[in-house]
Amino acid sequence: MLDTSLSEEVIARHGITPEEFARIREILGRDPSFTELGVFSVMWSEHCSYKNSKPELRKFPTTGPFVLVKAGEENAGVIDIGSGWAVAFKIESHNHPSAVEPFQGAATGVGGIIRDIFTMGARPEFLMNSLRFGPIEGDSETAARNRRLFSGVVEGIAHYGNCIGLPTIGGEVYFDESYNGNPLVNVFCLGVLRHEQIARGAASGVGNPVFYVGAETGRDGLAGAAFASRELTEESKQDRPAVQVGDPFREKLLLEACLELLASGCVAGIQDMGAAGLTCSTCETASRGGTGVEIEIARVPQREPGMNAYETLLSESQERMLVIVKRGQEETVQRIFDKWDLPYAEIGVVTDDGRMRVRENGEVVVDIPARALADEAPIYHREAAPKAAVAPLELSTVPEGSVESSLRQLLEFPSIASKRWVWTQYDHMVRTGTVVRPGSDAAVFHVREAGKFLAATSDCNALFCRQDPREGAKLAVAEAARNLACSGAEPLAVTDNLNFGNPHKPEAFLALREAVEGLAEACRAFGVPVTGGNVSLYNESPTGAIDPTPTVAMVGLIPEESHITRSHFRSAGDAILLIGGLGHELGASHYVHVVHGRKEGAPPSLDFEKEKAVQESVRAMIRMRLARSAHDTSEGGLGVALAESLFVGVGLSAEVDFGQTGLRADQLLFNESPSRVLITVSKANAAGALSLLRWRGVDARRIGTVTSGAELVIRADGSEFTWEVAALRAGFEDRIADLMS
C-alpha cells in the first residue's frame, strides 16, 4: 500500500533533502500534499533541474550567427542552414532505464528524442547513437550480462527507429570495464524545418484551452526522472515501473498529427511529456509563457483503472504531448486528432495567476507556483577535489612487442572493430537520404526538401577523459570537427551528453567541471556553439563509477555534393599523404590499454591552431577536387587508420614507407596524437598537393601508394612489416558478430 504520509523516510525516498523540504514549505506557506511532494521530487531532480550541473553548463558558448533557438530556451536548439531552412537537433541519455530493461530503455530513449525534435516543428530526418557497455569477451557471468545488455539495447534502438521509418546513420560503440552494470545509451535526432515553422513550448494566451494528445497514461515510467537521478544498485531491478514502454507506431501517428496541427496555425504552444511527464509539460509551458495552467486530472485518458493524481502526474508513459490551442480553434484540433486516430482530451486552460493547479474531480490536489517548479529549483555548488597532475607515460616501461600481432589485436578489439553487427540491424537507408553510410568518419545525409547535405558524428575517447577530463573533452570536440572536415563539411554546432558519476563525490564533480571547461574552450576555439544536450549523473553501480564520458555530437554542412568525401582508399596508384605529422604520444592510448593491459599516462596535448590549420587544409584539398579520400587518425593511430582505409574497397592494399623517424615502431604506428589526417590524391596531383599543403603551413608528407596487391606493407627505420589485408579485414569485420553468436 502506498505510504502517503510526510514522514522523514517518505520525504527522503522522494530524493528531497530536509533543507529542500523546508524551502518547499516556504514556497507554499504550508506543508505540501503527498502529490505535491511527488511533483517537487521529479521537477527538482537532477534529471529535470540540473541542480548540480547548471552553474557549470553556463560556461558553454551558446550564441552564434547561425543560432535561431539557443540552448535552454526550448526542447532543442535550432540552427540556420541557409535558404530559409534550419535544423533542430539534440542528444539525450536513457542510461538507467537501459540498465534495468535494455530493449524498452533504449527504444523509449529513441522515442523521447524524436519527440523533442518534432515538438520544435521540425520533421525528424535521421538518428545516431553513442553506446557504452562492459566487456563482452569471455564466459564470465558479467560478460554474458554485458552481451545481453548490448543485444537488447541495439534491438530496442533498431525496433523503434525502423518501425517509425527513420534511418540510424551513424554513431559509436565502446566497451570498457567501467561500464559494467551501468551502460550508456545516448541517442541523437536531427530534424529539418523552415524558419517560420519554429514552434515554442510556452502556454501563451490566457483562456486558451489545454489539450492532451497521444497514448493513454499508464503506470509505466512512474517517477522516472527521480529514478534517473540516483545511483544504480543491486535492487534497481525493482525499479522496472520507472522504465517506460514504447509504441513506435503510435509515435508515428503523433508525429504526423502534431506537424499537421502546427501547420494549421491553431497552436499557441506545444510540449512533449518527457521526463516528469504531465507534471513537466504543464509547469514548464506555464513558466515559459509567464502564465499559469490549470488541469482536471480526471479528464486525462488513462490506460489503467484506478490511477490517482500522483500516479497520473508522475507517469512517464510514452507518445504523449501537451498542446496549448488558440481559443476558438478546438474543432480544428479535434478533426486532426480524429483523422490520425489518436486519443485526446481537453484537460485544462491557461490562467493568469502563474500557478500549476491540478484538480481531481474538482478538488484541488496541486497548487504550486509554476516558476518555482520549472526554474527555481535549488542550485548547488558542489565540492570539487583538488586537481592532480597526470604523470606522462614513461615509454621505457612499455615493452616493444610484435607490431604485426599488435595491429591485429587492436583491429579485433571490440571498441575499434567494425560495428557492422550493430548498424546492419538499423534501417540506415530508409527514406533514401543517406549518402555516406555508417562506417566512415562521419555520416552524410541529403535533406532533399532543403537541398542540403549534412554531415554528423558523435565522439568521445573515454580513455583520454579518464586520465584527464579537460584534455579528453577538448580532444573529443577536435575529433568530431576533424571527422566532419574529412567528409567535406564545415562544423555548425554541437550538442553534448555529459555522462558522469555521483556529483556529491568530489572526484566525480571535479571530472564534470574539468570536462565542461574543456568542451567550452574547444567549442570557442572551433567557433561552434552548444545548442543543448543532456546531463546524466549518478552513473555508478556497485562496481564503481563510469569513466568520465562527455559525448560530443557535431553537425556540419557540406556546400556541394561533389565535396562529399569518404574515408576509404579509392584507386590503386593513388598517393597516400599524411597531414599533421607523425605524432609520438602513447599516453592513454588503446595500444597501451589493449596490448599491455594498462590505462596510464597523460592523453595527447591539443594545439588548437595546428588542429584548425589541418582541418582547413583538408577542406581545401576537398574543395579543389584534389582529395580522393580522407580519414582521420584516432583510436589505434596510424596503423589502424591505414588498415581501415583498405577495408571498403575491393582488391586494394598499400605500400607505406616512413623512412627514418627515430621512433619505436609501436610508437610510430599506434600513437594517438591528434591533428592528423590521411588523404589520397591521384599520382599526377601528389607533388602539387604537397606544395599547396606546405604553403598553407601544415606538416605534410607522402608516405606511400595505394596498390592492387594482397598485402599491407609498412617500412620504417630499416624494418619492414607485412600483413595480409584479407586476414586483417576478416578479424576486423567479424569480431563482434563472433562474440555475439
Residues taking part in catalysis: 47, 94
- How far apart (Å, rounded) are the C-alpha atoms in residues 311 and 643? 55
Place of cell 577542406: 619
**Closest CA relative to residue 443, chosen from 233, 105, 167, 638:** 167
Taking every pair of Cα atoms in the chain, the longest distance, rounded to a whole number of angstroms, is 87
321 forms bridges with which residues in the sheet? 213, 272
* CB contact set of 1 (below 8 Å; sequence gap of 6+): none
**Closest CA relative to residue 400, chosen from 694, 663, 44:** 663
Give the distance, in angstroms, between the CA of residue 277 and the centroid of all CA atoms in the same chain.
22
- How far apart (Å, rounded) are the C-alpha atoms in residues 735 and 635? 17
Question: Cα-flanking dihedrals φ and ψ of residue 704, to 5°?
Answer: 175, -165
Cα angle: 602, vertex 603, 608; to 5 degrees: 125
First to last CA, the chain: 45
Evaluate whether 286 touches 376 at the Cβ level (below 8 Å): no
Evaluate whether 696 touches 613 at the Cβ level (below 8 Å): yes
Buried b (16+ CB within 10 A) or exposed e, 226-248: bbbbbbbeeebeebebbbbbbbb
**Closest CA relative to residue 170, chosen from 129, 121, 112, 113:** 129
**Closest CA relative to residue 378, chosen from 88, 21, 618:** 21
Three cell numbers, residue 14 = 522522494
* CB contact set of 90 (below 8 Å; sequence gap of 6+): 75, 76, 77, 113, 116, 117, 188, 189, 495, 531, 532, 533, 534
Evaluate whether 62 touches 71 at the Cβ level (below 8 Å): yes
Evaluate whether 579 touches 686 at the Cβ level (below 8 Å): no
* CB contact set of 393 (below 8 Å; sequence gap of 6+): 585, 586, 587, 588, 592, 600, 601, 602
- How far apart (Å, rounded) are the C-alpha atoms in residues 588 and 584? 12
- How far apart (Å, rounded) are the C-alpha atoms in residues 269 and 285? 8
Q: What CA–CA distances, in Å, run from 99 to 161, 232, 503?
A: 20, 8, 20
423 forms bridges with which residues in the sheet? none
Evaluate whether 458 touches 480 at the Cβ level (below 8 Å): yes
**Closest CA relative to residue 626, chosen from 615, 635, 617:** 617
Place of cell 597501451: 592
- How far apart (Å, rounded) are the C-alpha atoms in residues 470 and 14? 34
- How far apart (Å, rounded) are the C-alpha atoms in residues 586 and 415? 18
